[in-house]
Amino acid sequence: MSNIKIAILGMGNVGTGVYQILQENNEEIYKYLNGDIEVEKILVRTIDKKRKISIPNELLTNNYDDILSDESIKIVVELMGGIHPALDYIKRAIKSGKHVVTANKAVMATYGKELKGLAKENGVFINYEASVGGGIPIINTLMESLAANKIEEIIGIINGTTNYILTQMTNYNMSFEEALKLAQTNGYAEADPTSDIEGEDAAFKISILTSIAYGINIPSKAIEREGITKIHKSDIDYASELGYKIKLLAVSKRCKDNIEIYVYPSLVPNEHPLASISNEFNALFVRGNAVGELLLYGKGAGSLPTGSAVLADILSVARLIKNNIGNDKNKNDKFNDIQIKGIGESQYYIRLQVVDKPGVLGKIAMTFGEYDISLESVMQKGRGEETVPLVFITHDIEKNILDKALDEINAYDFVEKIATILKVENI
């Protein structure tokens, strides 16, 4: 049978991984497809740049029109990252009748609905498995394997950078700054890690998963989120004493009349599987009304794991092309009128730094009581110092009520600061 020709946009880490897998696993790909995947063109900024792998010079171009005008190219694989110019390139490929595979979470979270609609109009496919979870096949699992399920809940560690940092803080007693520097040295964090450590990356990904699971498009900017920059290594220690690990969780839950969606650093009970996920690994805990509970686990980053997910999408589209199947499916957004909310009632971990004198704990506890906030546990550390930490875990409470109580507590002259507020995720 005929081979399928593709073009790759970008030859960074993921692009290199895709090209490498195509070369090394050529026999396996041929057996699966009964044909080859041929790289016809690769779009790069600089053609004569020294690269990690050897690529024939005739494949390289810095002119996107070379790709659009080549009718033999059936699939455009966008691996550039960022919204611009990637979004424009994807749109132009679709309008030119070319299928698209992308690993671009920012584009799909922000413009996914528009692009999927455009792909349907033009009878082509846009696949984006690698945009979430690296090598974990979460998107295809939700779209295909769990298609007969009503998805009730998705809870995940879907950012490898923050999980790596928190692992170093937990296992090796590092500060946040030390762990971040190590992550950058080992290639798990960018030179500018803001998107990861502030929770933006995870918000992009949970937006995509929510769209697939519930048929509702939620802009990532509308998602309540908090990063990990305020977590101190003392919080790691206190959480451990209380029987928890701290993880940055992305959560999407289907409630009776709303979708609860957020990204927040949370205390996870030690006995839950997500507590054991370490370093750059990702994991997604999915609950369906028929299948029950599933845990999907794997490397969430890296050129080869992400490249593997990209290749899975390429092969999926290639088989559809060979079987002459077009994109004429009509999936309705059934829940577009449903209410979106952030964190509902929850337990919280709170660390205060207070002046060490009699009556302080009693006054704070009384203030919590005035707002009907009951306390599950209280931990007081340090003696003889001018200020000491006070750690509380509340029972379930709405965040807006907790915020009002903390505003009053923070105004007391014996409270130096509210150091940390973390969610307690009892899953």
Label residue 199 left, alpha or beta by phi (over 0 means left) and psi (-120 to 50 means alpha).
Answer: left
The helix, strand and coil proportions of the chain, stated in percent and rounded to the nearest 5, come to 40, 25, 35
Other beta carbons within 10 angstroms of residue 324's beta carbon come to 6
- What is the Cα–Cα distance from 309 to 298, expressed in whole angstroms? 11
Binding residues: 9-16, 105, 190
Binding residues for NADP(+): 9-16
Residue 121 CB-half CA count within 13 A: 11
By CB neighbour count within 10 A (0-12 exposed, 13-18 middle, 19+ buried), where does 297 fall? middle
- What is the Cα–Cα distance from 402 to 410, expressed in whole angstroms? 12
Taken in order 190, 191, 194, 198, is the CA torsion positive or negative? positive
Binding residues for L-homoserine: 190
Residue 322 CB-half CA count within 13 A: 17
- What is the Cα–Cα distance from 195 to 356, expressed in whole angstroms? 38
Contact 420, 229 (CB under 8 A): no
**Catalytic residue set:** 205
Element (DSSP H or E) covering residue 390: strand 387-394
Contact 292, 285 (CB under 8 A): no
Nearest to 233 by CA among 185, 153, 298, 178: 178
Q: Letter for the amino acid at 250? A: A
